[in-house]
Structure 1
Amino acid sequence: MRYKNIIANQQYVFADLKSVMAKATPLRSGDELAGVAAHDATERVAAQMTLADIPLKNFLNEVLIDYDLDEITRLIIDEHDKNAFAPIAHFTVGDLRNWLLSEDANTEKLRFVAKGLTPEMVAAVSKIMRNQDLILVASKCEVVTQFRNTIGLKGHLSTRLQPNHPTDDILGISASILDGLMYANGDAVIGINPATDNLHNLAELLKLLDHVIQEYQIPTQSCVLTHISSAIQLAEQNIPIDLMFQSIAGTQAANTGFGISLALLQEGHEATLALKRGTVGQNVMYFETGQGSALSSNAHHGVDQQTLETRAYAVARKFNPLLVNTVVGFIGPEYLYDGKQIIRAGLEDHFCGKLLGLPMGCDICYTNHADADQNDMDNLLTLFGTAGINFIMGIPGSDDIMLNYQTTSFHDALYLRQLLGLKPAPEFSIWLEQQGILRQQQHHIQWAEHMPDQFAKLLMH
């Protein structure tokens, strides 16, 4: 279906819905690299005006990637909730924006319509919203998940403690875990990106994390971020796996490049549930995403990278994850060129994920060859705090010495919690108080002299 609009006495014609979506997207280097971006700002505005007038029902009838060729398209269409969609079925994209920003769209109503929204609808409305719009609407969403604690409650901010080490050295990892716990980090997950993926190494890392959590009765969960096929083998050996991890993308072809399918994700989900390691809930999946992954594997089908990112959230939503993490600036400046593009993309991802009912966090990060710096990350961090993000990363000194990129540190979480009066997960907060790390009534971390001795044996195992 062709779409047209006239602006400044010039007619703009868009070949199909895919083209309108791509050209309406705020400028980013990945879409330019793919050859799908608007030629100039005027064409972008024309596409945004056109997009605003498109009925939401069109997204159910005109798919962006062929139904027969893509299992994610089939997932989106086949599992669309018509009852949840009914209250907004008469909306255009512009109507949806206006309603989302209205007082009528409260937390309860947003939760109800979530399953009636497709990723393409949500991506479309984000393209005609300013940053403040994305923040305001996301702040009204509340997505709560549970495993050994409760994540996502309003007024709370959780962190992933990321103790990576370039050689997977147990002592180095243990020191980083201790450091993070002393800064009240780790309630979302203590999660290691392994330097090597052999099964023995993975098992030893998982046993270390399980030992720390069980020895000190920490109400949190662990994860070693290996490929799901390896983790399934470990689960079958009864290795202590709390969360099953996998990176996911928004097309079947891109996921094939990752070595995964919906069927394999289902197998991993069931294998982890069978271990029954959760205490307050059974959200057992941890997914990571990032704009540009489909383009980097030549699996984008001519669709813009932000829409593909949002389609990945349909995959995540199917498996009721504990955590979904957009690693926003990690792929590099070929996809998000500078701090401005990274900030915009991060706010889009968080908004779209939350609106679809996902427990969104963000690795607020950049690579060393991007035109960005830590001040850009401070800005995005602060914006995310106001938008109600579920969790962020906590890494020693903001510098991941294994993955070689820049992200947020343990003390960045303290800054945001102090600034906005946010607390860790409730169960984790109680544990922190019991250990003398956190005095909640003062909303800040208190060093306790007995803590280093109390945890010293962690570094001796």
Structure 2
Amino acid sequence: MPYRHTIQQHTYNFDTLTTLLAKASPFRSGDALAGVAAADYKERVAAQLALADVPLKNFLEEAVIPYEQDEVTRLIIDSHNEQAFAPVAHFTTGQFRDWLLSDEADPVTLKKLAPGLTPEMVAAVSKLMRNQDLICVARKCEVITTFRNTLGLKGRLSVRLQPNHPTDDPKGIAASIVDGLLYGSGDAVIGINPATDSPDHVATLLQMLDAIIQRFNIPTQSCVLCHVTTSLQLIQQKAPLDLVFQSIGGTEKTNKSFGINLALLQEAYDAALTLQRGTLGSNVMYFETGQGSSLSANAHEGVDQQTCEARAYAVARKFSPLLVNTVVGFIGPEYLFDGKQIIRAALEDHFCGKLLGLPMGVDVCYTNHAEADQDDMDNLLTLLGVAGCNYIMGIPGADDIMLNYQSTSFHDALYVRKVLGLRPAPEFEQWLIKQGIMNEEGAVVPVEDRHRLLQLIN
């Protein structure tokens, strides 16, 4: 279906909804690389104005990737909840934006609406929003998940303790874990990116993490971020695996490049549930995404990278995950060139995921060859704290020595919790208080005698 808009007697034509969505996106280097970006600012504004007039129902009738050739499209269409969609079914995209910003769209209403929204709908409306709009609406969305603690409550900000080591040395990993715990990090998950994906190696790391959690009765969960097929092998061996991890994308071809499909994810999800390791809940999946992953795999199917990213959230939503993390600046400047683009992309991802009903975290990060620095990350971290982000990363010194990129530190987490009055997950907070790591006011206290925790690395 063709779309058009006229500015100063010049009519801009957009042949398909896919083209319109791409041209309406705020500029980023990845879309320019893919050849789908607007030619100039005028064309982008014309596309945004045309997109504002598109009825939301059109997104159910015109797929950005054909239903017959893509299983993610089939998932989106086949799982759409018409009853949940009904209250907004008469809106155009522009009217939907205005409604989302109104007081009528409160947390309860948005939670009920989530199953009725498709990724393309939320991607489209995000393209019409300023950063403050994305923050305002995302802040209203509360997505709560449970495993051994409760994540996503209002007034809370959790942290993934990321103790990566270039050789997976157990003492090096343990030292980082102790460091993070003593700064109040680790309630989202203690998650290791392994240097190798071998089942025996991953099993050793899982056993070490489980021993720490069980020995000190820490109300959190662990994860070694191996491939889903490795997790399946370990589940069959009854390894102490809490969460199944997998990187996912928004097209069937992207997921094929990751060595996965929906059936494999379903198998892993079902297998993880049989372990029954959660004490408070059974959200057993952990997914990571990132704008540019489909383009980098030459699997974007002509769709802009932000819409591809939103489609990945449909894959995540199917499996009721405990955590979803957009690793926003990790792929590099070819996709998000500088701090401005990274900040915009992170706010879009967080908004879209939350509106679709997902427990969104953000790895506030950049690669060393991007036009960004830690001041940009400070700005983004603060914006995400205001927006109600479920969790961020905690890495020693904000410098991941295994993955070689810059993220957020344990100190950064303390900063944003302090300035915004945020607390850890309630069960984890009580554990920190009991251990003398945090006081009742939420401040980390100096610990003179650390021998009991430091024996972990002996």
Q: Aligning the two structures, in what range does the TM-score lie when normalised by the shorter sequence?
A: over 0.9
- Which ranges in structure 1 are unaligned for 5 or more consecutive residues? none
Deviation digits for residues 128-157 of structure 1 (CA, Å, limit 9, x no counterpart) = 000000000000000000000000000000
Letter in 1 for 2:54: I
What is aligned with 2:241?
Answer: 241
Aligned length: 458
| Alpha-carbon distance in 1 for matches of 2:355, 2:439 | 33
| Alpha-carbon distance in 1 for matches of 2:197, 2:364 | 25
Letter in 2 for 1:177: I
Asked if 1:457 is matched to 2:444, the reply is no
What is aligned with 2:229?
Answer: 229
By how many angstroms is 1:70 displaced?
0.3
Asked if 1:59 is matched to 2:59, the reply is yes
What is aligned with 2:389?
Answer: 389
SS in 2 for 1:438: coil
By how many angstroms is 1:199 displaced?
1.3
| Alpha-carbon distance in 2 for matches of 1:324, 1:59 | 24
SS in 2 for 1:113: helix
What is aligned with 2:211?
Answer: 211
Deviation digits for residues 292-313 of structure 1 (CA, Å, limit 9, x no counterpart) = 0000011111000000000000
What is aligned with 1:268?
Answer: 268
Letter in 2 for 1:7: I
By how many angstroms is 1:271 displaced?
1.0
The within-5 A match list for 1:7-46 is: 7-46=7-46
| Alpha-carbon distance in 1 for matches of 2:223, 2:54 | 42
What is aligned with 2:337?
Answer: 337
By how many angstroms is 1:200 displaced?
1.2
| Alpha-carbon distance in 2 for matches of 1:233, 1:440 | 43
By how many angstroms is 1:109 displaced?
0.2
The within-5 A match list for 1:403-442 is: 403-441=403-441
What is aligned with 1:255?
Answer: 255
| Alpha-carbon distance in 2 for matches of 1:402, 1:143 | 31
Deviation digits for residues 72-103 of structure 1 (CA, Å, limit 9, x no counterpart) = 00000001000000000000000100000001
Identity level (%)? 67
SS in 2 for 1:397: helix
Letter in 2 for 1:445: V
By how many angstroms is 1:449 displaced?
1.7
Letter in 1 for 2:58: N
Asked if 1:77 is matched to 2:77, the reply is yes
By how many angstroms is 1:456 displaced?
2.3
SS in 1 for 2:362: strand
SS in 2 for 1:56: coil
By how many angstroms is 1:440 displaced?
2.9
| Alpha-carbon distance in 2 for matches of 1:400, 1:271 | 31
Higher mean C-alpha deviation, range 342-351 or range 190-199:
190-199
| Alpha-carbon distance in 2 for matches of 1:317, 1:361 | 14
By how many angstroms is 1:198 displaced?
1.2
SS in 2 for 1:259: coil
| Alpha-carbon distance in 2 for matches of 1:113, 1:8 | 38
By how many angstroms is 1:9 displaced?
1.5
Task: Return structure 1 stretches of 4+ with deviation > 4 angstroms.
Answer: none
The within-5 A match list for 1:359-374 is: 359-374=359-374
What is aligned with 1:313?
Answer: 313
Q: CA RMSD in A?
A: 0.5
| Alpha-carbon distance in 2 for matches of 1:293, 1:398 | 23
| Alpha-carbon distance in 2 for matches of 1:316, 1:137 | 21
Deviation digits for residues 319-342 of structure 1 (CA, Å, limit 9, x no counterpart) = 000000000000000000000000
What is aligned with 2:149?
Answer: 149
| Alpha-carbon distance in 1 for matches of 2:113, 2:8 | 37
What is aligned with 1:447?
Answer: 446
By how many angstroms is 1:213 displaced?
0.2
TM-score, normalised via structure 1 length: 0.99
- Which ranges in structure 2 are unaligned for 5 or more consecutive residues? none
| Alpha-carbon distance in 2 for matches of 1:75, 1:322 | 20
SS in 2 for 1:386: helix
Letter in 2 for 1:255: N
